[in-house]
Structure 1
Amino acid sequence: MSQPRRTSRRRAWTVLALPALACLLAACSAGPASGGKSDTAAPGHDTAPTAASPTPTGPPGTVFDSFHYSGADDPQLTAHGWHVRTEGGAPGIKDTWSPAGATFPADSTAQGGRILQLRATTDGTKPGTKQTEVSSTGTAFFNGTFAARIYLGDEPTSGKGGDHIVQSFSAISPDDSSANYSELDYEYMANGGWGSVGPQLDTTSWFKSDPPDRVTHPLKQHLKGWHTMMVTAVNGKATYTMDGKELFTSSGKYVPRENMDVHFSDWFIDLPFTGAARTWDMKVNWFYYKAGEAVSPADVQKTVDGFYATGTDYVNTVPKQ
């Protein structure tokens, strides 16, 4: 089943304005000059960008980020509208959010060769638990196409398996109590949770946070590895697609009704056993958003390939909130 609503998780930070867009990128939505790339790593991206790197523009209503940053304290990460969570609250083990779990290492299996890595660790006690979340600030995500290439883990990177870990990609209203509350979720539970036996991927559309009012679809399947996860929210429907295959569609009241923030999160439902520390890693290769349009999986990848081909690490032409 889908998670109970994550009450008291909203942030206390001040929304940050995105920087002025600095230069023009020509034809950035076109496919790569090579006629298309596979998901193998591209050379030339094994070093982090400098804080002075330009912020190119692109097609109207587009966000793209390949997460080429030096660390959680990179000023470009904040300038590009991302926040590494340190505030308390839910979901999972409350008040265990740590910026230490957000890193940007090289990865030969990633397109472009670099990733956002979110690490959750636990020894089965609250003091020994750290969760990680990176979320957007300042950009008006509403209807359109949301997509990310994400690596899901079935086993811990180190330590004994069995934790009730959740690896998630979501778009969520900034305020849990909003009258127009909106949320679109991918949540992968390698070992299940809330009484459900894993592995399980939940795709869930929410209408209300408290009391919970949502519709969800569970996929009982091992998903270790890279996957392109998409949600197209247009024309009164929200459709979830993974690796080009449609998983679930919600409609009626279960569609976005207001601007949302994008979240990538790696967290624990509970602490089922104590012992030596375990480390769980979730990876994000890139994020893409197109406002107001349903973009096909093939066209999303073509556009992303085009950004990589031109060395474009970041684009944001969506109006600020």
Structure 2
Amino acid sequence: MMNTLQSLSILTFAVSLGFSNFSQANQSQANQSQEGNEQVFFDEFSYTDVKSFNSNGWKARTETGHPGIAGATWSAEGLSFHPELKDANRGAIRMSSVTAGGGTNTRHTQFCHKRKYLEGTYASRVFFRDTPTYGPDGDEVIQTFYTISPLEFPLDPSYSEVDFEYLPNGGWGSDSSPAMWTTTWETFQLEPWTKVNEYTRKEGSYAGWRILVMTVEKDEVNYYVDGKLISTHSENVAPEKLMSINFNLWFMPKGADGSIGPVDSDELREYQQDIDWVFHIANDIITPQQVLNQVASLQAQDIKHIDGVAERRPALPSPCGL
């Protein structure tokens, strides 16, 4: 099943998982009106330019600082739009990050949506890579999908963060084997480095298209990959504060939780991650199967973007950086 996802559409993926009632459910959902999506946020990432991307509430990170290699830039230069991708429904957005091992030659990439999300179900179809587009392999690189709130002060007890992080070359003191890390944060401080979280490491390659699902409740957080539950974290770390939706691609510095950092080379290298779509339904916990049904319904209605999740008034500040 891991490899078949790389080429299957949402519909064929659902059928291959044995969703016998998928076509009937899809047809029923396709008849839903726009008014039936008040709690739904969905984006197909079918953009062709940054202006339309920004107009739907997304922005690229430009703030410097944690995480990643010290002195690196964060820039929209690493974002590109790819309507030509055949294995994405209407194309995808791509993050491209580069490094030659130092802060002055490293560009990290991140983009985020408004800070207005808390309990409910989050999902995204992403394409992970195990090797660089060019240059030497081996950097401890992090490819992600996550939600996060600002850290108001060190060890802020209301801090909230829910992470999928794929490390194709290892990191955080583990060996160099590829692994998916899921982490739910209660809080942390940078100096001295102190963390309060629960995490799960699932070793193995996750290269290719993956369906990532997170369900967030007051008493637990669950993580699924391709329909399979891979971790559950407790109420001790469950989010308490409104969060933004984020994707980023960055390089781990040496010393971060025992990490070895960049490989010993001054040759430039680039890693990429693609995102086909993102979905959220507020205050409702649904299964990965139901996520696929809802996404297929939205696609059948030719809905490329919908935002039915209400903002606070006034809207909360939504920095991409910490």
Structure 1: gaps (5+ residues): 1-35, 41-55
Identify the residue that residue 13 of structure 1 maps to in structure 2.
none
Q: How does 1:306-317 map to 2 (within 5 A)?
A: 306-317=297-308
Identify the residue that residue 202 of structure 1 maps to in structure 2.
181
Q: How does 1:129-140 map to 2 (within 5 A)?
A: 129-137=106-114, 139-140=115-116
Identify the residue that residue 17 of structure 1 maps to in structure 2.
none
1:225 counterpart = 2:199: no
> Once the 2 structures are TM-superposed, how far is the Cα of residue 260 of structure 1 from its aligned partner?
0.5
Identify the residue that residue 162 of structure 2 maps to in structure 1.
184
> Once the 2 structures are TM-superposed, how far is the Cα of residue 69 of structure 1 from its aligned partner?
1.4
Considering only aligned residues, what root-mean-square deviation do their CA atoms show, in Å? 1.8
The residue matched to 1:38 in structure 2 has which SS? helix
The residue matched to 1:223 in structure 2 has which SS? coil
Identify the residue that residue 213 of structure 1 maps to in structure 2.
196
1:193 counterpart = 2:183: no
Among candidates 140, 150, 160, match of residue 126 of structure 2: 150
- Counterpart residue type for residue 96 of structure 2: R
Displaced runs of 4+ in structure 1, greater than 4 A? none
1:38 counterpart = 2:12: yes
Equivalent-residue separation in structure 1 for 2:183 and 2:302 (angstroms): 34
Equivalent-residue separation in structure 2 for 1:310 and 1:262 (angstroms): 24
Among candidates 275, 281, 289, match of residue 280 of structure 2: 289
> Once the 2 structures are TM-superposed, how far is the Cα of residue 200 of structure 1 from its aligned partner?
1.4
Identify the residue that residue 299 of structure 1 maps to in structure 2.
290
> Once the 2 structures are TM-superposed, how far is the Cα of residue 276 of structure 1 from its aligned partner?
2.2
TM-score, with length taken from structure 2? 0.79
Work out whether residues 229 and 242 of structure 1, in 8 Å CA contact, stay in contact via their aligned partners in 2.
yes
Equivalent-residue separation in structure 1 for 2:213 and 2:120 (angstroms): 10
Distance of aligned partners of 1:107 and 1:242 in 2 relative to their CA distance in 1, 3 Å threshold? farther
Q: How does 1:1-321 map to 2 (within 5 A)?
A: 37-38=11-12, 58-71=36-49, 73-74=50-51, 76-94=52-70, 95-137=72-114, 139-177=115-153, 178-197=156-175, 198-210=177-189, 211-270=194-253, 271-321=262-312
> Once the 2 structures are TM-superposed, how far is the Cα of residue 58 of structure 1 from its aligned partner?
4.9
| Larger relative helix fraction | 2
Identify the residue that residue 10 of structure 1 maps to in structure 2.
none
Equivalent-residue separation in structure 2 for 1:194 and 1:180 (angstroms): 25
> Once the 2 structures are TM-superposed, how far is the Cα of residue 86 of structure 1 from its aligned partner?
1.1
Distance of aligned partners of 1:58 and 1:80 in 2 relative to their CA distance in 1, 3 Å threshold? farther
Equivalent-residue separation in structure 2 for 1:221 and 1:107 (angstroms): 29
Work out whether residues 58 and 317 of structure 1, in 8 Å CA contact, stay in contact via their aligned partners in 2.
no
Identity %: 28
Equivalent-residue separation in structure 1 for 2:218 and 2:75 (angstroms): 38
Structure 2: gaps (5+ residues): 1-9, 15-33, 254-261, 313-322
Which is further off, 103-112 or 93-102?
Answer: 103-112
Work out whether residues 58 and 316 of structure 1, in 8 Å CA contact, stay in contact via their aligned partners in 2.
no
Work out whether residues 144 and 247 of structure 2, in 8 Å CA contact, stay in contact via their aligned partners in 1.
yes
The residue matched to 1:81 in structure 2 has which SS? coil
> Once the 2 structures are TM-superposed, how far is the Cα of residue 299 of structure 1 from its aligned partner?
1.0
Equivalent-residue separation in structure 2 for 1:112 and 1:194 (angstroms): 35
Equivalent-residue separation in structure 1 for 2:98 and 2:230 (angstroms): 30
Equivalent-residue separation in structure 2 for 1:183 and 1:293 (angstroms): 19
TM-score, with length taken from structure 1? 0.79
> Once the 2 structures are TM-superposed, how far is the Cα of residue 109 of structure 1 from its aligned partner?
4.3
Identify the residue that residue 256 of structure 2 maps to in structure 1.
none
The residue matched to 2:73 in structure 1 has which SS? coil
Equivalent-residue separation in structure 1 for 2:165 and 2:122 (angstroms): 15
Deviations 1:194-250 (A, max 9, x none): 321221111011111223100100001111100010111125110001100001111
Deviations 1:73-123 (A, max 9, x none): 31x222211110111111102342111111111243433131010111112
